[in-house]
Amino acid sequence: MSASVPIAGNRFIIVGGASLVGSATAAGLLDAGASEVVLFDNFSMGSEAAVAHLKDNPRLRLVRGDVMRLPDLLRAMEGCQGALLLAAYMTLNMDRDPWGGLDVNIRGVQNALEAARATGVRKVVFASSNAVYGYGPGVKGELVEDTPFHSAGAPPAAILYGATKIIGEQLCRDYKRRFGLDYVVLRYSTVYGERQHYRAANALYIIETWDRVKRGERPQVYGDGSETKHFVYVGDLARANRMAFEAEATDVAVNTSGPAPVTTLELVRMVTKLAGSDIEPEFVGDTPGKVRLTSGGAFRIAHEEAFRAIGWKPQVGMEEGLRRLMAWIESNEGRTS
């Protein structure tokens, strides 16, 4: 049977949908003609404000529910052909509440897969992360889909987060093997863009830099500024989610990263320029108690496999994406969220 789920005329559920990736993806699915998009969320981190721009669309339905409660998921998934699984704790929240994170990222994913199987959902798209390659000095070079996991020298919360994403991916594989449930895993790199939140360590750095420069303070660069970051623009990811449903691909996990990595110094210079300033950054050491995600040197998250599997490649470069993010931060919606 075909593993493709066309968007037009079909109903989709986005589990953990009232936030950054969910709101952008919902907009994309509605534009492509989905008959209904259900945003399922317990609003522990997401908010109605994050989806306020969609609320007048009659094909959008907001459902309050918790992934820890299977009956909530069963009710909400009834009649859906596609399910995008986003609900998760990322590193910063995992640091504050590891048990809550392990529950949501593991049992929550299993509940969602079980509900998908029981209600006859045809395809699941699971939001994994480049955290499956780990963090710390071992992470360097070209990161491809079979690059191993590195844990030495990285904060425990980051490793717990990455480990839960590895488990989530394997739960998807297991549901395919046992029950034939089609799935595509997308390993997002750090997401940034409109409706940015403060929960992702690397994207938070962009906002902190912007805020400092706007206040006339020097932006801070950790170490010598050569550390690599590889982001992806949220609109590109929304398109990847949509294409993962539409593609014939199943039983695969692929990286979805932006066009190219940047160093932290390049990033700070881009943000400073966008703020209309030429203030020089200050080079600082680590801040005690702050969770930072480091790697062992230059790296690039290869996204060529995503093109082969689902026909996707990123379109929005870092400068353009930052410009859109900053425009949103300075807009009414950004100021009040």
Ligand X SMILES: NC(=O)c1ccc[n+]([C@@H]2O[C@H](COP(=O)([O-])OP(=O)(O)OC[C@H]3O[C@@H](n4cnc5c(N)ncnc54)[C@H](O)[C@@H]3O)[C@@H](O)[C@H]2O)c1
Q: Which residues bind ligand X (CB under 6 A)?
A: 16, 18-22, 41-46, 66-68, 86-88, 90, 104, 108, 127, 129, 188, 190-191, 197, 199-200, 203
Other Cβ atoms closer than 10 A to 16: 24
Whole-number minimum distance, CB 9 to ligand X, in Å? 26
As a whole number of Å, the CA-based R_g of the chain is 19
Using the minimum distance from each CB to ligand X, give the nearer residue, 41 or 284.
Answer: 41
SS3 assignment, position 184: strand
Write the DSSP string, 129-174: EGGGGB-BTT--EEE-TTPPPB-TTS-HHHHHHHHHHHHHHHHHHH
CA nearest neighbour of 295 among 321, 262, 268: 262
| Token pair listed for 66 | 């918790």
Using the minimum distance from each CB to ligand X, give the nearer residue, 30 or 232.
Answer: 232
Report strand pairing: 228-229 vs 262-263: antiparallel
- Report the DSSP beta bridge partners of residue 186: 127, 254
Whole-number minimum distance, CB 161 to ligand X, in Å? 7
SS3 assignment, position 185: strand
Using the minimum distance from each CB to ligand X, give the nearer residue, 6 or 291.
Answer: 291
SS3 assignment, position 87: coil
Using the minimum distance from each CB to ligand X, give the nearer residue, 34 or 87.
Answer: 87
Whole-number minimum distance, CB 112 to ligand X, in Å? 9
Q: How far apart are CA 6 and CA 26, in angstroms?
A: 15
Whole-number minimum distance, CB 308 to ligand X, in Å? 21
Using the minimum distance from each CB to ligand X, give the nearer residue, 200 or 316.
Answer: 200
Question: Quick check: 114 and 272 in contact, CB under 8 A?
Answer: no
Using the minimum distance from each CB to ligand X, give the nearer residue, 68 or 167.
Answer: 68
Whole-number minimum distance, CB 22 to ligand X, in Å? 6
Whole-number minimum distance, CB 167 to ligand X, in Å? 13
Report which residue's Cβ sits closest to ligand X.
Answer: 46
| Token pair listed for 14 | 């986005």
Whole-number minimum distance, CB 283 to ligand X, in Å? 25
Report strand pairing: 252-256 vs 182-188: parallel
Using the minimum distance from each CB to ligand X, give the nearer residue, 65 or 281.
Answer: 65
